[in-house]
A = this chain, B = another copy of it.
């Protein structure tokens, strides 16, 4: 993987911010306004979806499209697909934070959805965000997407969000707190579903909308798998070492909940090494794509250094 001339880190950060801004605009577009009745649930949906998350997942959708088809491949349809992924991610955070689940009171630097809007509304707001994601994808042909491609993209997201992905990982995660001790292999298999599946869906959705071939899809899928692994390890590390203000949630909550984490299993030093190795695997997976993948490579490397 070589730099492509404009590869100074500052340029990529600006590119990331530009894509994130596009995702944010698309989110504003697809979310019902806070005055549209029933207003309270739209408020609740917007509260969490526009809470200033990193928008990493939507950026991955757009960066994958850009990698396959160049800057002009980041079409309104791609931006809306990217917003749909963020809606799914946000719904999963709202439901995960519920008292019956992880019982977290803070998220993204603000009180969790159910703390502000009550449990019933938080459940419904999550349901509504998930539903809206598929409404957005079903409407993609109005934004120029081919219907067959739009369906393939919806299927990618549904599978990644279902019991073979996000929800399956969450189920195992719940079991892991209550059940038999986990080893590293089992923990990473949970991560592959809980975090990895959605990362894979992101790059595959963006790539498909940009007309990717099988080879490109494969390289991007391998990238997202390894990137997701690194991302989750760094997440675990930050829960031990992070700064509460930067993280936007309490530090040490995994440990308090008896949650098994990678640093908890293998120590901080080895966890850091595993994250770095996974990041390098992610970057190496991009080799077949050449310089077009420079943004994706930068993204993986920069996330290794993230503080939140």
The chain A residues found within 8 Å of chain B, CB to CB, are 32, 37-38, 40-42, 45, 91, 95, 98, 100-101, 118-121, 123-124, 126-128, 130-132, 134-135, 137-141, 147-148, 150-152, 154-155, 158-159, 161-163, 167-168, 170-172, 174-175
Contacts and interface: CB of A to CB of B under 8 A. Distances in A.
A151 B147 contact: yes
A167 B128 contact: yes
B130 A127 contact: yes
A175 B148 CA distance: 40
A139 B155 contact: yes
A163 B32 contact: yes
13 contacts: A37-B168, A41-B171, A101-B120, A101-B123, A120-B174, A121-B174, A128-B162, A132-B162, A134-B134, A135-B155, A135-B162, A138-B154, A139-B155
A267 B81 CA distance: 49
Contacts of A138: 151-152, 154-155, 158
Given A147-B151, A155-B138, A167-B41, A95 B121 contact: no
A163 B130 contact: no
A259 B5 CA distance: 66
Given A134-B154, A147-B147, A124 B38 contact: no
Given A95-B123, A174-B120, A141 B148 contact: yes
B151 A38 contact: no
Contacts of A128: 162-163, 167
Contacts of A45: 163
A113 to B, nearest CB: 12
A97 to B, nearest CB: 11
A173 to B, nearest CB: 10
Given A37-B168, A100-B123, 14 more contacts: A38-B163, A38-B168, A38-B171, A100-B119, A101-B120, A124-B174, A127-B127, A130-B130, A130-B131, A134-B134, A138-B154, A141-B151, A150-B151, A151-B151
B124 A171 contact: yes
Contacts of A141: 148, 151
Contacts of A148: 141, 147
Residue from A37, A98, A118, A131 whose CB has the most chain B CB atoms within 10 Å: A131
A163 B123 contact: no
Looking at A138, A140, A147, the one whose CB has the most chain B CB atoms below 10 A away is A138
Given A38-B163, A38-B175, A174-B120, A131 B158 contact: yes
Contacts of A119: 100
Closest 5 A/B residue pairs (Cβ): A135-B158, A100-B119, A138-B155, A147-B147, A147-B148
A152 to B, nearest CB: 8
Contacts of A159: 135
